[in-house]
Protein backbone atom coordinates (compact mmCIF):
# COMPACT_ATOMS: atom_id res chain seq x y z
CA UNK A 1 0.00 0.00 0.00
CA UNK A 2 1.08 3.57 -0.60
CA UNK A 3 0.23 6.63 1.49
CA UNK A 4 -3.22 6.98 -0.01
CA UNK A 5 -6.19 6.06 2.15
CA UNK A 6 -7.62 2.56 2.04
CA UNK A 7 -10.73 1.46 3.90
CA UNK A 8 -11.17 -1.89 5.64
CA UNK A 9 -14.81 -2.09 4.57
CA UNK A 10 -17.83 0.15 4.10
CA UNK A 11 -18.57 0.57 7.80
CA UNK A 12 -14.96 1.57 8.46
CA UNK A 13 -15.33 4.15 5.70
CA UNK A 14 -18.58 5.37 7.26
CA UNK A 15 -16.97 5.88 10.67
CA UNK A 16 -14.14 7.88 9.11
CA UNK A 17 -16.54 9.94 7.03
CA UNK A 18 -18.70 10.62 10.11
CA UNK A 19 -15.74 12.39 11.71
CA UNK A 20 -15.66 14.84 8.78
CA UNK A 21 -19.38 15.50 9.31
CA UNK A 22 -19.17 15.92 13.08
CA UNK A 23 -20.17 19.57 12.81
CA UNK A 24 -23.72 18.44 12.04
CA UNK A 25 -24.02 16.34 15.21
CA UNK A 26 -26.98 17.46 17.28
CA UNK A 27 -28.40 19.65 14.51
CA UNK A 28 -32.16 19.59 14.07
CA UNK A 29 -33.86 18.36 10.91
CA UNK A 30 -30.93 16.25 9.67
CA UNK A 31 -31.77 13.34 7.38
CA UNK A 32 -29.17 10.82 6.20
CA UNK A 33 -30.15 9.14 2.94
CA UNK A 34 -28.24 6.14 1.62
CA UNK A 35 -28.04 4.84 -1.93
CA UNK A 36 -28.60 1.07 -1.64
CA UNK A 37 -27.06 -1.23 -1.47
CA UNK A 38 -23.43 -0.24 -0.91
CA UNK A 39 -24.21 3.17 0.54
CA UNK A 40 -26.25 1.79 3.44
CA UNK A 41 -23.40 0.47 5.66
CA UNK A 42 -21.55 3.76 5.14
CA UNK A 43 -24.61 5.87 5.95
CA UNK A 44 -25.54 3.70 8.95
CA UNK A 45 -22.33 4.72 10.73
CA UNK A 46 -22.84 8.38 9.81
CA UNK A 47 -26.44 8.45 11.07
CA UNK A 48 -25.44 6.71 14.30
CA UNK A 49 -22.62 9.19 14.92
CA UNK A 50 -24.77 12.24 14.16
CA UNK A 51 -27.88 10.96 15.99
CA UNK A 52 -29.77 11.44 12.74
CA UNK A 53 -32.53 9.47 11.05
CA UNK A 54 -31.41 7.03 8.35
CA UNK A 55 -33.45 6.16 5.30
CA UNK A 56 -32.69 4.79 1.86
CA UNK A 57 -33.08 6.59 -1.45
CA UNK A 58 -33.16 4.09 -4.24
CA UNK A 59 -31.48 4.67 -7.59
CA UNK A 60 -31.07 2.20 -10.44
CA UNK A 61 -28.45 2.58 -13.12
CA UNK A 62 -29.44 2.33 -16.78
CA UNK A 63 -26.63 0.28 -18.27
CA UNK A 64 -25.56 0.18 -21.89
CA UNK A 65 -26.70 -2.93 -23.78
CA UNK A 66 -23.96 -5.55 -23.58
CA UNK A 67 -22.07 -3.56 -20.95
CA UNK A 68 -24.27 -3.08 -17.92
CA UNK A 69 -21.45 -1.47 -15.93
CA UNK A 70 -21.36 1.46 -18.35
CA UNK A 71 -24.06 3.84 -17.14
CA UNK A 72 -25.93 5.76 -19.80
CA UNK A 73 -28.41 7.08 -17.26
CA UNK A 74 -30.24 6.33 -14.04
CA UNK A 75 -33.66 6.43 -12.42
CA UNK A 76 -34.48 7.38 -8.83
CA UNK A 77 -37.29 7.15 -6.30
CA UNK A 78 -40.13 9.42 -7.33
CA UNK A 79 -39.84 8.76 -11.06
CA UNK A 80 -36.80 10.90 -11.91
CA UNK A 81 -34.80 9.75 -14.93
CA UNK A 82 -31.41 11.13 -15.97
CA UNK A 83 -29.98 10.24 -19.38
CA UNK A 84 -26.52 10.84 -20.83
CA UNK A 85 -27.78 11.81 -24.27
CA UNK A 86 -24.28 12.38 -25.63
CA UNK A 87 -23.15 8.87 -24.69
CA UNK A 88 -26.38 7.31 -25.93
CA UNK A 89 -25.85 9.02 -29.29
CA UNK A 90 -22.19 7.97 -29.45
CA UNK A 91 -23.14 4.34 -28.77
CA UNK A 92 -26.07 4.56 -31.22
CA UNK A 93 -28.53 3.08 -28.71
CA UNK A 94 -32.16 3.33 -29.92
CA UNK A 95 -34.47 5.19 -27.56
CA UNK A 96 -36.82 2.20 -27.56
CA UNK A 97 -33.99 0.13 -26.03
CA UNK A 98 -33.37 2.80 -23.38
CA UNK A 99 -37.08 2.83 -22.54
CA UNK A 100 -37.14 -0.96 -22.24
CA UNK A 101 -34.13 -1.00 -19.89
CA UNK A 102 -35.75 1.81 -17.89
CA UNK A 103 -38.91 -0.27 -17.49
CA UNK A 104 -36.93 -3.27 -16.22
CA UNK A 105 -34.94 -1.15 -13.78
CA UNK A 106 -38.12 0.56 -12.55
CA UNK A 107 -39.54 -2.84 -11.61
CA UNK A 108 -36.40 -3.61 -9.61
CA UNK A 109 -36.57 -0.18 -7.97
CA UNK A 110 -40.15 -0.87 -6.86
CA UNK A 111 -39.12 -4.30 -5.54
CA UNK A 112 -36.38 -2.78 -3.43
CA UNK A 113 -38.64 -0.01 -2.16
CA UNK A 114 -41.03 -2.63 -0.79
CA UNK A 115 -38.26 -4.91 0.50
CA UNK A 116 -36.20 -2.28 2.30
CA UNK A 117 -38.83 0.09 3.60
CA UNK A 118 -41.11 -2.62 5.07
CA UNK A 119 -44.09 -0.30 5.07
CA UNK A 120 -42.25 2.66 6.58
CA UNK A 121 -43.38 5.92 5.04
CA UNK A 122 -41.01 8.32 3.36
CA UNK A 123 -39.87 11.17 5.55
CA UNK A 124 -40.46 14.63 4.19
CA UNK A 125 -37.34 16.12 2.69
CA UNK A 126 -38.62 19.69 2.38
CA UNK A 127 -36.67 22.14 4.57
CA UNK A 128 -34.40 19.40 5.94
CA UNK A 129 -30.62 19.20 5.74
CA UNK A 130 -30.06 16.05 3.69
CA UNK A 131 -26.78 14.12 3.73
CA UNK A 132 -26.79 11.84 0.69
CA UNK A 133 -24.36 8.93 1.02
CA UNK A 134 -22.83 6.26 -1.21
CA UNK A 135 -19.75 4.05 -0.89
CA UNK A 136 -17.98 5.95 -3.68
CA UNK A 137 -18.39 7.81 -6.96
CA UNK A 138 -17.12 6.65 -10.32
CA UNK A 139 -19.27 8.07 -13.14
CA UNK A 140 -21.72 9.63 -10.68
CA UNK A 141 -24.78 8.70 -12.78
CA UNK A 142 -26.71 7.22 -9.87
CA UNK A 143 -25.82 10.04 -7.50
CA UNK A 144 -26.74 12.67 -10.10
CA UNK A 145 -30.19 11.12 -10.51
CA UNK A 146 -30.63 11.06 -6.73
CA UNK A 147 -29.52 14.68 -6.41
CA UNK A 148 -32.03 15.88 -8.99
CA UNK A 149 -34.86 13.88 -7.43
CA UNK A 150 -34.10 15.20 -3.95
CA UNK A 151 -33.72 18.81 -5.10
CA UNK A 152 -37.21 18.55 -6.57
CA UNK A 153 -38.42 18.10 -2.97
CA UNK A 154 -36.80 21.38 -1.82
CA UNK A 155 -34.40 20.45 0.96
CA UNK A 156 -32.93 23.26 3.04
CA UNK A 157 -29.43 22.00 2.27
CA UNK A 158 -28.11 19.06 0.26
CA UNK A 159 -24.75 17.47 1.04
CA UNK A 160 -23.15 14.60 -0.89
CA UNK A 161 -20.86 12.52 1.34
CA UNK A 162 -18.70 9.67 0.03
CA UNK A 163 -15.47 8.03 1.19
CA UNK A 164 -13.82 8.06 -2.25
CA UNK A 165 -14.58 9.64 -5.62
CA UNK A 166 -13.21 10.36 -9.04
CA UNK A 167 -11.95 13.96 -8.90
CA UNK A 168 -13.80 14.93 -12.06
CA UNK A 169 -17.08 13.42 -10.88
CA UNK A 170 -16.86 15.09 -7.47
CA UNK A 171 -16.16 18.47 -9.08
CA UNK A 172 -19.16 18.09 -11.37
CA UNK A 173 -21.47 17.07 -8.51
CA UNK A 174 -20.17 19.94 -6.42
CA UNK A 175 -21.83 22.32 -8.87
CA UNK A 176 -25.22 20.71 -8.20
CA UNK A 177 -25.28 20.55 -4.38
CA UNK A 178 -24.54 22.81 -1.43
CA UNK A 179 -21.57 20.82 -0.16
CA UNK A 180 -19.51 17.72 -0.94
CA UNK A 181 -17.59 15.79 1.72
CA UNK A 182 -15.09 13.22 0.50
CA UNK A 183 -12.07 11.61 2.15
CA UNK A 184 -10.16 10.55 -0.94
CA UNK A 185 -10.02 11.73 -4.57
CA UNK A 186 -7.27 9.54 -6.06
CA UNK A 187 -5.84 10.18 -9.49
CA UNK A 188 -5.74 7.76 -11.23
CA UNK A 189 -9.05 6.67 -9.75
CA UNK A 190 -9.31 3.09 -11.10
CA UNK A 191 -12.60 2.05 -9.41
CA UNK A 192 -14.48 2.46 -6.12
CA UNK A 193 -13.64 -1.08 -5.03
CA UNK A 194 -9.91 -0.46 -5.50
CA UNK A 195 -9.89 1.58 -2.28
CA UNK A 196 -11.47 -1.05 -0.04
CA UNK A 197 -9.77 -4.12 1.45
CA UNK A 198 -13.23 -5.75 1.63
CA UNK A 199 -15.65 -4.66 -1.08
CA UNK A 200 -17.97 -7.65 -0.83
CA UNK A 201 -21.36 -6.88 -2.34
CA UNK A 202 -23.84 -5.66 0.25
CA UNK A 203 -26.79 -8.06 0.47
CA UNK A 204 -30.48 -7.23 0.68
CA UNK A 205 -30.48 -8.86 4.12
CA UNK A 206 -27.74 -6.54 5.39
CA UNK A 207 -29.59 -3.51 4.04
CA UNK A 208 -32.78 -4.63 5.80
CA UNK A 209 -30.96 -5.27 9.07
CA UNK A 210 -29.18 -1.92 9.13
CA UNK A 211 -32.26 0.10 8.19
CA UNK A 212 -34.39 -1.76 10.75
CA UNK A 213 -31.75 -1.32 13.45
CA UNK A 214 -31.41 2.39 12.68
CA UNK A 215 -35.20 2.80 12.85
CA UNK A 216 -35.33 1.03 16.25
CA UNK A 217 -32.52 3.17 17.63
CA UNK A 218 -34.22 6.34 16.42
CA UNK A 219 -37.54 5.32 17.98
CA UNK A 220 -35.82 4.49 21.28
CA UNK A 221 -34.09 7.86 21.31
Determine the structural domain holding residue 54 and report its residue range: 10-59+125-220
* Tens digit of each residue's pLDDT (9 = 90 or more) over 148-169: 889 988 999 999 999 999 999 9
Q: How far is CA 145 from the centre of its chain?
A: 10
CATH number at residue 174: 3.40.50.2020
Binned at pLDDT 50, 70 and 90, residue 2 comes out as: very low
Residue 82 to residue 146: CA distance in whole angstroms: 9
pLDDT, position 3: 46
Question: Residue 4's pLDDT is what?
Answer: 61
The mean pLDDT of 91-97, rounded to a whole number, is 96
Q: Is the pLDDT of residue 122 over 90?
A: no
Does this model's pTM top 0.85? yes
26: in domain = yes
Residue 53 lies in a domain: yes
Describe the chain by its helix, strand, coil percentages, rounded to 5.
45, 25, 35
Phi, psi at 24, each rounded to 5°: -90, -5
- Asked if omega into 90 is within 30° of 0 (cis), the reply is no
Please name which of 137, 185, 168 lies closest in space to residue 5, comparing C-alpha atoms: 185
Residue 49, domain member (yes or no): yes
Residue 75 lies in a domain: no
Q: How many domains does one find in the chain?
A: 1
Residue 135 falls inside a structural domain: yes
Who wins on pLDDT, 66 or 178?
178
- 96 part of a folded domain: no
Q: With bands split at pLDDT 50, 70 and 90, how would you rate the model's confidence at 145?
A: confident
List the beta strands (DSSP E) in 12-164: 30-34, 53-56, 59-64, 67-76, 80-83, 129-133, 157-164
Q: Given this model, what pLDDT does residue 1 score? A: 37
Q: Would you say residue 2 lies in a domain?
A: no
In a domain, 93, yes or no: no
Low-confidence winner among 37-46, 76-85, 124-133 (lowest mean pLDDT): 76-85
158, 132 Cβ separation under 8 angstroms: yes
The SS3 of residue 188 is coil
pLDDT digits (tens, 9 = 90+) for 52-64: 999 999 988 899 9
Q: Residue range 12-18: average pLDDT?
A: 97
Check whether 109 has a pLDDT greater than 80: yes
pLDDT band for position 141 (cuts 50, 70, 90): confident
Amino acid sequence: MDDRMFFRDRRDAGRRLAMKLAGYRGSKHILVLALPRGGVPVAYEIARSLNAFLDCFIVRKIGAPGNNELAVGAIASGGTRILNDKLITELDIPRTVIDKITQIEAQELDRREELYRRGREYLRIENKTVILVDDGLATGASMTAAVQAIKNQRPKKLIVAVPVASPETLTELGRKVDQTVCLQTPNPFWSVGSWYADFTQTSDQEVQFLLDDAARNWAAA
